[in-house]
């Protein structure tokens, strides 16, 4: 594995009892480019007591 670093951002949406992670964006500084996944990646059901 190499030592390249990819800064990442994502969107975390919380709606009542659900949380979802979407719109993940990576930045690759050596090529000065952004790579994006604009889709819902994970959904979680929040158990509130």
Enclosing domain of residue 24: 8-37
What is the CA 21 to chain-centroid distance, rounded? 6
- Residue 15 counted as domain residue: yes
Which two three-digit tokens encode residue 46?
């929040």
3-class DSSP string for the chain: CCCCCCCEEEEEEEECCEEEEEEEEEEECCCCEEEEEEEEEEEEECCCC
pLDDT computed for residue 47 by the predictor: 76
Give the number of domains in the chain.
1
- Residue 46 counted as domain residue: no
Query: pLDDT tens, 5-49?
Result: 567 888 888 888 888 888 888 888 888 888 887 777 778 887 766
CA distance 39 to 10: 10
Is the pTM value of this prediction over 0.85? no
pLDDT computed for residue 6 by the predictor: 60
């Amino acid at each position: 594995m190499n030592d390249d670093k990819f800064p990442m951002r994502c969107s975390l949406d919380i709606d009542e009892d659900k949380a979802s992670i979407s719109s993940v964006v990576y930045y690759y500084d050596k090529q000065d480019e952004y790579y994006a996944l604009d889709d819902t990646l994970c959904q979680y059901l929040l158990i509130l007591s």
